[in-house]
Structure 1
Amino acid sequence: MTTGADKLPETSMRLLEIFAAMMGQRTTVATAESLGISQPAVSAGLRQLETQLGLTLFERTGRHLEPTLEARSLYEEIRPLFGIVRSFGMRARDLRNGRVGRLRVISTPPPGYSLIPQAMRGFLDTRPDVTVSFDVRRLGNVLSAVQTGQADVGVGLTNGRLPNVTSEDLRTGQMVALLPHDHPLARDATVKVGALTHERFIGIDQESHLGRMVAQAFEDAGVTYHPQLETRYCQTAASLAANGMGVCIVDPWSAHPYLAEHAGGQRLVGRPLAQPCPIHCMMFTRRGIPHSGLLKIFMAEIRRASASLDYPGLERPESALSPET
């Protein structure tokens, strides 16, 4: 049975903090200044600690309080504790400021090969202790990864908000026709899909969201959709067009690297479709889950990078929708 004399004192962390500061400062005034509290609070804390421990911790010598042998012995016991507390505080500060941690990012190919690298560059350059896992997949995989928590944030192209995720419209654009720079249609500001019926057309796989959009654009115009070449991704179609394989309709993000001022092969120009064929670049997060400080900072980088893009077919950034609440 534990007696009253054997019972361990219930000492608060605040009292130990006052004690540790006093060991370094040796005056109650200096200790109070270092802790940001009043001098009477320091004196009262020391008296309370001595009462709890049943020990004399400091003896006055002139204007200073000298620690007793018992105080020195106890201080050696708690010094590692304050190292842990300092590390805890520094870790919390780094987490708050987004300096440490891990992010899982997923995107569909168009923004994944253009927007996300630009956002990551500014984000990681000043955060050497942050790691990012990044994957590029189809839209269905992006949404699934965000919904199930396998990814912290996703970015993809779609034509509107999607259920079961929190979505934010980053930029809105119009699908564009990629044409050789000397093509007759390149002189026009916009291109009608009907004008492409006699061209060797590179289509997008209709199992993909963008592929269905392109096919629907032809159907809405009452024009037969019959691509001679078909590929899964807009980037591939743009690459084929840059190599003289035909013309294609792709999103602005996929078209940009193949335009005349960027492409290393055949120079292409991008002309928005004359008929409405809008496409939204959207950012997705898991519904109902609070964002970490690190995620908030990276999402802000994505917004900045998206607003800075100046591609044919993109609307001005201020026309983007506000975040969904």
Structure 2
Amino acid sequence: MTRAADLPEVSLRLLEIFAAMMRCTTTVETAEFLGISQPAVSAGLRQLENQLGFSLFERTGRRLTPTGEANDLFEEIRPLFGILRSFSTRARDIRSGRVGRLRVMATPPLGYSLGPRALQAFHVARPEVTISYDVRRLENVLDAIQTGQADIGLVLNAERLETVNSEIIQRSQMVVLMPEDDPLAEGAFVTAEELTGRQIVGIDQASQLGRLVAKGFAQGGGQYRPGIEVRYCQTASALVADGMGVTVTDPYSAEPYLDRGLVSRPFMPTLEVSASMLTRKGVPHSGLLLSFMEELRRQLNRSR
């Protein structure tokens, strides 16, 4: 059995010089190809021959002609450089965010509006990227980011988040979604008092946005008594589209229904909400994640 100590210690750099020399005809040409000096090429070939214990090239004038042994060795290592080229290409693609796996989680308002638009554009440009996408409640998104189960979270919130990195990408305000022939649609905005006594589809007050709406009615002097209460703003918007009243919702959830006989007007008093990107604290952003974050900003700029 051949012992490891009996094998020549050949470095990858020496093999690279050898392979380049097999493709070129002179040490000068090889040096130009590798971007090193001609003496470095000559020294590398001599070192490789010393380690192997036999000659690889015969000098013919100014050219070096490969020996039979050199040709045999070159055929052995040819696949290696194909692997190295693939490795370099893969590393470049990873660095530029063109391959890999991206895990995205969002709350419903952004999960059914901004998220799909950004993912569609992102996936067209990077078809080799594997994407995991899920729409959950805020507490589920926060937990996934904190534990590393998701790379990025897209949330609509009105409260400060301390346990994750949070970047606000757009500020907006809650709106009243109603039929376009509703008398309140004639105004530039709708107040809490004007909604008192109306059939309101409300948001579950156990949620952040539900608490925000209830607070707005209290501040505006209106009575908040929803006849129907749902968990998500999207559900409330869908019920309004089916003629079940009006709702105070976020503009992202209202948007898909604005071409279906409904209109939206700002709710007064102003209830501000922020679209934010969440990432895990203490974890550097990958090239893939940075590319997706840029696509999110691009989509928001287009919609303004």
SS of residue matched to 1:212: helix
Q: Which residue of 2 aligns with 1:235?
A: 234
2:280 to 282, 286, 292: 286
- 1-structure distance, mates of 2:302, 2:139: 27
- 2-structure distance, mates of 1:235, 1:19: 65
Q: Which amino acid aligns with 1:224?
A: Q
Of 53-62 and 247-256, the range deviating more from structure 2: 53-62
Contact 2:241 2:262 in 1 (8 A): yes
Contact 2:106 2:155 in 1 (8 A): yes
Residue identity (%): 60
1:236 offset after TM fit, Å? Answer: 1.1
Q: Which amino acid aligns with 1:232?
A: R
Q: Which residue of 2 aligns with 1:297?
A: 291
Contact 2:195 2:222 in 1 (8 A): no
Q: Which residue of 1 aligns with 2:55?
A: 56
- 2-structure distance, mates of 1:248, 1:309: 23
Q: Which residue of 1 aligns with 2:224?
A: 225
Q: Which residue of 2 aligns with 1:89?
A: 88
Q: Which residue of 1 aligns with 2:146?
A: 147
Q: Which amino acid aligns with 1:62?
A: G
Q: Which residue of 1 aligns with 2:43?
A: 44
Q: Which residue of 2 aligns with 1:204?
A: 203
Contact 1:181 1:268 in 2 (8 A): yes
Inter-CA distance 160–309: structure 2 relative to 1 (3 Å threshold): farther
Of 48-57 and 281-290, the range deviating more from structure 2: 48-57
Contact 1:153 1:285 in 2 (8 A): yes
Deviations 1:10-63 (A, max 9, x none): 222111100011011121121112111121211111112112222111001233
Q: Which amino acid aligns with 1:279?
A: V
Aligned: 1:274 with 2:273: no
Q: Which residue of 1 aligns with 2:255?
A: 256
- 1-structure distance, mates of 2:168, 2:210: 21
Q: Which amino acid aligns with 1:285?
A: T
1:287 offset after TM fit, Å? Answer: 0.6
Structure 1 segments (4+ residues) deviating >6 Å: none
1:308 offset after TM fit, Å? Answer: 2.2
Normalised by the length of structure 1, the TM-score is 0.89
- 1-structure distance, mates of 2:237, 2:79: 61
Of 70-79 and 250-259, the range deviating more from structure 2: 70-79
Aligned: 1:306 with 2:300: yes
- 1-structure distance, mates of 2:172, 2:23: 63
Deviations 1:276-308 (A, max 9, x none): 210001100111101111111011101111222
Query: For the aligned residues, what is the CA RMSD?
Result: 1.8
| Residues 30-179 of structure 1 mapped to structure 2, 5 A cutoff | 30-179=29-178
Of 134-143 and 49-58, the range deviating more from structure 2: 49-58
- 2-structure distance, mates of 1:32, 1:75: 18
SS of residue matched to 1:161: coil
Q: Which amino acid aligns with 2:171?
A: T
- 2-structure distance, mates of 1:308, 1:195: 33
Q: Which residue of 2 aligns with 1:313?
A: none
- 2-structure distance, mates of 1:23, 1:12: 17
SS of residue matched to 2:6: coil
SS of residue matched to 2:45: helix
Normalised by the length of structure 2, the TM-score is 0.95
Q: Which amino acid aligns with 1:13?
A: L
* Structure 2 residue ranges without an equivalent (≥5): none
1:77 offset after TM fit, Å? Answer: 2.3
Greater share of helix: 2
- 2-structure distance, mates of 1:135, 1:54: 61
